[in-house]
Structure 1
């Protein structure tokens, strides 16, 4: 399982980041079909389907450093561009990866998605996940990297105490998503089994994982959460879980004492989730790299952006050539000065001649002559 190592960079409010798994047989084909359909429908401005090796290759017009390389385990890289409210452009990259080590049955392909808008992210905007993945229950793209945990549904807490504690640890330390635990005071009907994420705005819906505890799990869930995370599980209530590298956490603030699972909108819980999601938090190291690749390794330029980029590169190369020319001229002048100094101390002969008696006093030492010659090229003292 991928580890979350926090960086010192705070997640920008313009970004949307996600990481999950697709256990199906053809994840890239699912992405292609969705991108083609959304472009045909006018939802996307454009998209690219790239080989990771080609995407990382540098050219004269598009020099790239190591930050643009998604790594050796990358399978495919997709880019998409679309516009949201008031013509705000969103750029996004989705990269699929082979699992680390030998692939286990059902492990699937890992995906990393980084999106960034020209303005601070608005949760009412469409989810970047469904710009790449079909918003259909038939396509299982929504698995977390934590085993047996999914978005878009409710996840029952394990009944075994050790397994429950392991699940809590993994979700708060390894996952990029926000996690909420809801305790069922009584077994809900079909309406109450509906995940609370359906009430969240689109841009937040695919960032939240919901866990459910059965009525008889009240004590075991409370004990496990208190021991592992320092939070309490109220009977018939809910808790937004802290994250290992997350923002400063107020357990009381993000605990809701009562949640009615009758199909109605749990307004208080939704407010707490939105509040927690809006807090500044450090980027996981892998998320920071994904965001850097998006910014520095972007390929899907508009014609105007291509022209501006080409003009900028021409300017940079012209400046570099000018600097090289000046450096060459300075080198030539220094060489001429050195030759003149050498001629001065050798009397004009190619080989140094024995110094005449008293010549050191008259003309100074050879070292002094060279120092005097090169001193002309020193920068004046400030």
Structure 2
């Protein structure tokens, strides 16, 4: 099916999208164990573990739709379905991919997760990431595609100016996550080193990456961010970085918090700003749009009602196809009968063409004109 996206396509309010890297040895096994445990606990309604090639061949809803194919680099596809707020169904697909050839060995397996609910997404719902990945620090599934950047931790900014600028630039241009830079006014204690993202609602927690600048990095971080991203780094404060292309409604001053206390207390103002930023319309990357389309059109984990509706739709489809074939057969039969009648008229019924009139005068109708006349009547719907 032809792609119908436009540059202004924004992320639907019903969707949750994520892309990262798993640096461990057995990413698919980690997913399977988590899915089995959550289904046994009643958290999940059901799940499927699919081979990408077979999944593309057996796509239920649109069996010939190319968007249902996750691509040649896909390793495994997982589907899961669960309910939130008792009656709102969430459907999600997670696909793992082999590392790109240009990447160095040991950079892990890339994963893409697309989830969609039956209504607008609520940040207080469970995170789709922890429906597939274990919510454990011992399982390294939470690395961004930008090197040396990870969810669920406070990532310290590089000491080198060039490295710092390149990291911030890559985060705003390549990452699907929301990036927040926090400056430490003074070196925090163990409690203050706790990531501020732990205070976020569950579904937002795994969409935000936190960066930390040390006290002595105040000027270098401010200079690099002003030069590269046109935002300022307040001493002892925080700023939410804009994406590239720019997020509609983003204003750097509005999404800057002048003071953040790293004493273990809840940073209420920063949390509110992050939630507000996450609610802004955000352009949907091409890869994310394909993942969302696969979720919608390449779904396999149907409920009984969905299977019944699908079977009824297929019966209707085949009935329409049979009716079209029957009409075509009728048309061909009518055409054959018209041709036979024209041939009989042209040959006098004995299969031999009529002779020309005496004196070389042509008869009123020739075999060719008779055939043409007969087919003309057949083509004219009024006759």
TM-score (norm 2): 0.91
- In the TM superposition, residue 374 of structure 1 has moved relative to its aligned partner by 2.7
Give the Cα separation in 1 of the matches to 2:145 and 2:373.
Answer: 67
- In the TM superposition, residue 87 of structure 1 has moved relative to its aligned partner by 1.1
CA contact (8 A) 2:143 2:151 kept: yes
- In the TM superposition, residue 346 of structure 1 has moved relative to its aligned partner by 5.4
Report 1:283-298 matches (<5 A): 283-298=284-299
CA contact (8 A) 2:59 2:299 kept: no
Q: Aligned pair 1:307/2:277, yes or no? A: no
Report 1:61-80 matches (<5 A): 63-80=63-80
CA contact (8 A) 2:60 2:298 kept: no
Report 1:38-187 matches (<5 A): 38-58=38-58, 63-101=63-101, 104-187=104-187
Give the Cα separation in 2 of the matches to 1:351 and 1:101.
Answer: 74
**Cα distance change of structure 1 residues 131 and 351 upon mapping to structure 2, 3 Å threshold:** farther
**Cα distance change of structure 1 residues 327 and 135 upon mapping to structure 2, 3 Å threshold:** same
TM-score (norm 1): 0.91
Q: Aligned pair 1:370/2:341, yes or no? A: no
Secondary structure of residue in 2 paired with 1:44:
coil
Secondary structure of residue in 2 paired with 1:231:
coil
RMSD of aligned alpha carbons: 2.4
Number of equivalent positions: 375
- In the TM superposition, residue 188 of structure 1 has moved relative to its aligned partner by 1.6
- In the TM superposition, residue 232 of structure 1 has moved relative to its aligned partner by 1.4
CA contact (8 A) 1:31 1:134 kept: yes
Mark the runs of 5 or more structure 2 residues left unpaired by the alignment.
Answer: none
Alignment partner, residue 243 of structure 1: 243
Mark the runs of 5 or more structure 1 residues left unpaired by the alignment.
Answer: none
- In the TM superposition, residue 336 of structure 1 has moved relative to its aligned partner by 2.5
CA contact (8 A) 1:124 1:202 kept: yes
- In the TM superposition, residue 169 of structure 1 has moved relative to its aligned partner by 1.2
- In the TM superposition, residue 350 of structure 1 has moved relative to its aligned partner by 4.5
**Cα distance change of structure 1 residues 346 and 258 upon mapping to structure 2, 3 Å threshold:** farther
CA deviation vs aligned residue, 1:49-91 (integer Å, no higher than 9, x gap): 1111111113899734221111111111111111000311111
CA contact (8 A) 1:58 1:65 kept: no
